[in-house]
Structure 1
Amino acid sequence: MKGVVVCPEPLAALAGAHVFRLGGSAIDAAIATAFAQTVVSPAMTTIAGNGIMNVFHAPTGRHQLVDFMGYAGARATAEMYERAPAGAQHRGYASVVVPTLVRGLHTAFALFGSGRLPWPALLEPALRFAEDGFPVYPYMHQYWRAENPVQQTADRFDGHEMLTTTDACAAIFTRGGRVHAIGDRIVQPDLARTLRILADDGADAFYTGVIGKRLARDLESHGAPVTARDLAECRCVVGDPLHGVYRGLTVSTDPAPHIGILLVELLHVLDGYDLAALGAGSAPYYELMARALARVFRDRARLMADPTAVDLPATMTDRQYAAELRARIDEERAATPLPGTTQVSALDADGSAVSFTHSVGTGSGVVTPGLGFMLNNNMMAFDPRPGRGNSIAPGKRPISGGGPTLVLANGQVRYVLGSPHGGRKISAMGHVLAELVDFGHSPAAAVASPRIHCEGDLIDVRIEPFFPIPADVRVALAARGLGLREDLYGGRVCLIAVDPATGRAAGASDPRGDGGLAEV
């Protein structure tokens, strides 16, 4: 085996497989897959997005995060949306944070790339998809249509309205006054030219070269918070991941203000319970998961912010704090009578692994004429009210997604996983790890298992109609005071699992997505 790559998009997985066949590493394959995703999954990510990569580099033993999540531009202020038009934080030029994705991918390539393949080779599959086009697949069409079933837990999102924010965006992503239908072919010649420049000239072209200069003029002429200097000084941070422990396994993910810290907190709470004794798929198991999630997401609202801008308590991942949360959960159980992101997971034969989550938010609807890519709208992740932990400030990062996770045993990678879709990735990955570690299920069964999700309010617990919890379990949960509501989306986990007995790796792509998986 040369390697495994898992992502929600089958076409993008082909890019990773191609790089493995050329002799590339997991890092090389993840970068190529990500660039392909920016072409074939523009609802989820673009080259003007943001991301975070969790890397285990087997040749050197280095285990680090490459953090290129977005941050507010120099013109951003805490009061910037007080008199702004409705929706300005969610679409249009005022919604854009510094686009860090290209800088981050190039940094990862420079630090951890195999050296066997040049930078242009990793962009070549994406360039071909842009030139030749690709057919619109069901998930992309669903996500962008006006009545979006995927976004039930978020504010109202009208994809067509967003895509028509600028004429250049509408020209690419709509046809005849509507979003592209399933099977329509999208060809992106402007994006192909942009990718060719990036391949030939490197990442600096995006920030200070021909692409960056054109982008900066457009942003500044429309009063965006991101300036030419922001682009020129675009940064990413390389550092250590956050570590936790679950059933003796080391869990590594991203710290605050990213969402991985919540996964560690959740697993520390669950680590004090015997889930196997409760039983897979049982009412006590789902009740416990809902109550633990509720406690964890209350902490997200109370405690999380950018630690470079706000002092954060050190309690969220503390084992004693997890014990205190378990005590509160047990009291509740005894007393109760009665909502755009994508993911790449990659592993190679040497044992190097990458979990990489990246996003364009829900998309700003802004395309600079001639460049061919949509800008992010990740300013929406800030609290628009001044004086709060997650309020806006220049250079500050909002509470964000992320959550790329590696699980290790005795210094070797056991699981590589991650998921799109905001808070859902925490419940999704928590369920999947319980299925694998506590219940002994296969990777494919683990990602397909029914899930429950709660973000703090136990009268609003989400379950999935297409991956249903049995009726008798639902009745029991309702009797325990949980308010159940059907929702169509429970994350899209991209999993690679290594069998400790044989050392063989197997990928599993969540059936809630389109199922991108390649084993080479």
Structure 2
Amino acid sequence: MRDFQKPGRSAVFATNGMCATSHPLAASVAIDILKAGGNAVDAAIAGAVLLGLCEPQMTGIGGDCFALISRPGEDIVALNGSGRAPASASAERLRASGHDTVPLYSADAVTIPGAIDAFCTLSDRWGKLGLADSLAPAIRYMDEGVPVAPRVAADWSDLTEILQGDGRHHYLSNGAAPKLGDIFRLPGQAEVLRRIARDGRDAFYSGEVAEDMIAALAELGGGHSAEDLAATRCTDGPAISGTYGGKTLYEHPPNGQGATAILMLNILARFDLGALDPWGAERAHLEVEASKLAYDTRNRIIADPDHTSRIEHMLAPETADRLAALIDPNRAMADPAGIAEAVHRDTIYITVVDRDRLAVSLIYSIFHGFGSGIASKKFGILFQNRGAGFSLVDGHPNEMAPGKRPMHTIIPAMLGDGDQVEMPFGVMGGAYQPHGHARVVTNLLDYGLDPQAALDAPRLFPEAGELRLERGYSEAVGAALADKGHKVVTAPQAIGGAQAIRIHPSGVLEGASDPRKDGCALGY
């Protein structure tokens, strides 16, 4: 139990249904959907789509999503709503133009948005109320507007220069970011959602909306076509999994980076973390070294599932044995080989559990803050820059190619006991996400923290040759890590964000929400 004399956040307990996400309005509409007879899928769609208005720097209908769906007594389904590169995509052309990486804020970085097809599929296959009911709250709020929340206002003010052309018209006010409490609207997207509610996915991937998107990208040199949009389809399959501390961690398979979290935990399982101070330098050092090794493996292997064949090697026990043996408990290793593809930390996450214990773990993103910065003229659809996740290295499994999905940073997760899901959860933060999954799991299982305390706890992450520590770590720990050879700096901003819902054997739901974001857990 937390110390009530110190700042903190209590977990939320309920029995009928629960939502945890990064904005209160999104959590509220999800609960409204549950109360109206909808299930967790209906509610997750409603909350997620609204987050494209509440947190437009993080997500939107021009982006992608991944989801894990768990129905009691059935296998977990992993739904891949990530879009593909257009037929015009060419790594060779970009290399010939002198690029080592995909230009972040160009039409070349824009892959076909996959989220809308995934939402339509989720509603058709698993929902109860129908897509129109799930989209209704977002349509209303996009017309009426929402007040800009504190974390959103802080992010927005730092990202105004990313927006270009019609992106500045739709997402700035007189050339400036909206301020805290200002009302922000997206009436063009309200109209898009009305059409989707009436006519389904074809209202987005063909006709006037598709033409608006194609024209915006063509104006900046993009070769995206009507055929590219019309061909967009989500895919599904089984989750991948690993074990730690007697529990099962379920992750989304490639092209998501979920296998990285499993590998990191496999490496850490070779050490007795529970015997170490949870906030001390020894645990931090082992975690960071395992992270470096797991991410280096990710960079070599993870790609479009049709173009990678080494995931079994990545998850094999002997791979973890060999990597763990490389860790010196007293000395930081040089950073493993860097990656050519871009990574960043902007996305949203939502999890919902309903009265029947259908659980949804869903993550939805436009990649970088405000994605590519490019928006369509009429409807204001802001495009992701997920194509920047491709490599331009000739022959790399993740090399950009037509019709291919890039390596994705966004990963939903679930923690289970055997076949029984105990906790859908997710950690936002781009490249940090697998590290964050491992951090949450070890906080829970090695140190016995409850979900809210596991999310509240201080974080660290090795990035760009630095070891970035949140201010929750003491100066003494920072000094001890520096003595081990780490280049220790204070994290320039809070690292990631997270949400979780624990399903207790008693039937009680326990919701936890990261204080690093504006959101909350709500139940009824």
TM-score > 0.5, shorter chain as reference: yes
Q: Does the Cα contact within 8 Å between 2:285 and 2:332 map onto a contact in 1?
A: no
* Partner Cα separation in structure 1 for residue 417 and residue 264 of structure 2: 19
Listed one character per residue, the Cα deviations across residues 187-216 of structure 1 (whole Å, up to 9, x for unaligned) are 222111111111111112111244224433
1:255 alignment counterpart = 253
1:375 alignment counterpart = 383
* Partner Cα separation in structure 1 for residue 416 and residue 317 of structure 2: 19
Q: Equivalent residues in 2 for 1:265-304 (5 A)?
A: 265-304=263-302
* Partner Cα separation in structure 2 for residue 486 and residue 172 of structure 1: 35
Within the candidate set 71, 78, 81, 1:68 is matched to: 81
Shift of 1:134: 0.9
Please state whether the residue corresponding to 1:281 is helix, strand or coil.
coil
* Partner Cα separation in structure 1 for residue 322 and residue 18 of structure 2: 40
Shift of 1:48: 1.3
Within the candidate set 131, 143, 149, 2:155 is matched to: 143
Aligned: 1:452 with 2:460: yes
Listed one character per residue, the Cα deviations across residues 481-509 of structure 1 (whole Å, up to 9, x for unaligned) are 22211112311011111234x33211111
Within the candidate set 111, 132, 135, 1:123 is matched to: 135
Q: Does the Cα contact within 8 Å between 1:427 and 1:451 map onto a contact in 2?
A: no
Q: Given the superposition, is the C-alpha separation of residues 299 and 69 from structure 1 closer, same or farther in structure 2, using an over 3 Å criterion?
A: same
Please state whether the residue corresponding to 1:65 is helix, strand or coil.
strand
Shift of 1:315: 1.6
Within the candidate set 340, 343, 348, 2:354 is matched to: 348
Within the candidate set 96, 99, 102, 2:110 is matched to: 96
2:516 alignment counterpart = 512
Please state whether the residue corresponding to 1:354 is helix, strand or coil.
strand
Please state whether the residue corresponding to 1:79 is helix, strand or coil.
helix
Shift of 1:454: 2.0
* Partner Cα separation in structure 2 for residue 182 and residue 444 of structure 1: 27
Within the candidate set 450, 468, 473, 1:442 is matched to: 450
- Could you list the runs of 5+ residues in structure 2 that have no partner in the other structure? 1-14, 334-343
2:484 alignment counterpart = 480
Q: Does the Cα contact within 8 Å between 2:259 and 2:311 map onto a contact in 1?
A: no
* Partner Cα separation in structure 1 for residue 297 and residue 98 of structure 2: 31
- Over the residues paired in the alignment, what is the CA RMSD in angstroms? 2.1
Q: Equivalent residues in 2 for 1:174-323 (5 A)?
A: 174-220=172-218, 222-312=220-310, 314-323=312-321
Listed one character per residue, the Cα deviations across residues 315-349 of structure 1 (whole Å, up to 9, x for unaligned) are 211112112222222xx125679x52111111122
| Percent of aligned pairs sharing the same letter | 29
Shift of 1:83: 6.3
Please state whether the residue corresponding to 2:28 is helix, strand or coil.
helix
* Partner Cα separation in structure 2 for residue 53 and residue 70 of structure 1: 14
Aligned: 1:361 with 2:367: yes
Shift of 1:74: 0.6
Q: Does the Cα contact within 8 Å between 1:305 and 1:312 map onto a contact in 2?
A: no
Q: Given the superposition, is the C-alpha separation of residues 482 and 108 from structure 1 closer, same or farther in structure 2, using an over 3 Å criterion?
A: same
1:463 alignment counterpart = 469
Please state whether the residue corresponding to 1:454 is helix, strand or coil.
strand
* Partner Cα separation in structure 2 for residue 38 and residue 84 of structure 1: 34
Q: Equivalent residues in 2 for 1:72-87 (5 A)?
A: 72-82=85-95
Q: Does the Cα contact within 8 Å between 1:174 and 1:180 map onto a contact in 2?
A: yes
* Partner Cα separation in structure 2 for residue 102 and residue 55 of structure 1: 17
Please state whether the residue corresponding to 2:85 is helix, strand or coil.
coil
Listed one character per residue, the Cα deviations across residues 91-148 of structure 1 (whole Å, up to 9, x for unaligned) are 24332101110001111111211x2x12111001101110110112222222233xx4
1:154 alignment counterpart = none
Q: Does the Cα contact within 8 Å between 1:492 and 1:513 map onto a contact in 2?
A: yes
* Partner Cα separation in structure 2 for residue 403 and residue 99 of structure 1: 17
Aligned AA for 2:253?
P
Listed one character per residue, the Cα deviations across residues 169-202 of structure 1 (whole Å, up to 9, x for unaligned) are 2122112222222222112221111111111111
* Partner Cα separation in structure 2 for residue 252 and residue 261 of structure 1: 9
Q: Equivalent residues in 2 for 1:10-29 (5 A)?
A: 10-29=24-43
Aligned: 1:429 with 2:443: no
Q: Aligned pair count? A: 495
Listed one character per residue, the Cα deviations across residues 274-317 of structure 1 (whole Å, up to 9, x for unaligned) are 22211321222111111111111121223332231244363211
Shift of 1:52: 0.6
* Partner Cα separation in structure 1 for residue 75 and residue 123 of structure 2: 14
Q: Equivalent residues in 2 for 1:2-17 (5 A)?
A: 2-17=16-31
Q: Does the Cα contact within 8 Å between 2:241 and 2:249 map onto a contact in 1?
A: yes
Aligned AA for 1:356?
L
Aligned AA for 1:471?
E
Q: Does the Cα contact within 8 Å between 1:6 and 1:517 map onto a contact in 2?
A: yes
Aligned AA for 2:350?
V
Shift of 1:84: 5.9
Q: Does the Cα contact within 8 Å between 1:89 and 1:377 map onto a contact in 2?
A: no
Q: Does the Cα contact within 8 Å between 1:96 and 1:225 map onto a contact in 2?
A: no
Aligned AA for 1:233?
A
* Partner Cα separation in structure 2 for residue 336 and residue 286 of structure 1: 11
Listed one character per residue, the Cα deviations across residues 421-451 of structure 1 (whole Å, up to 9, x for unaligned) are 2111122221111111111112111100011
Scaled by the length of structure 1, the TM-score of the pair is: 0.90
Q: Given the superposition, is the C-alpha separation of residues 271 and 432 from structure 1 closer, same or farther in structure 2, using an over 3 Å criterion?
A: same
Q: Given the superposition, is the C-alpha separation of residues 317 and 311 from structure 1 closer, same or farther in structure 2, using an over 3 Å criterion?
A: closer
Please state whether the residue corresponding to 2:89 is helix, strand or coil.
coil
Aligned: 1:499 with 2:504: yes
Q: Does the Cα contact within 8 Å between 1:194 and 1:372 map onto a contact in 2?
A: no
- Could you list the runs of 5+ residues in structure 1 that have no partner in the other structure? 149-158
Identify the range of structure 1 (131-140 vs 272-281) with the bigger mean alpha-carbon deviation.
272-281
Please state whether the residue corresponding to 1:308 is helix, strand or coil.
helix
* Partner Cα separation in structure 1 for residue 332 and residue 42 of structure 2: 51
Q: Does the Cα contact within 8 Å between 1:72 and 1:225 map onto a contact in 2?
A: no
Aligned AA for 1:162?
I
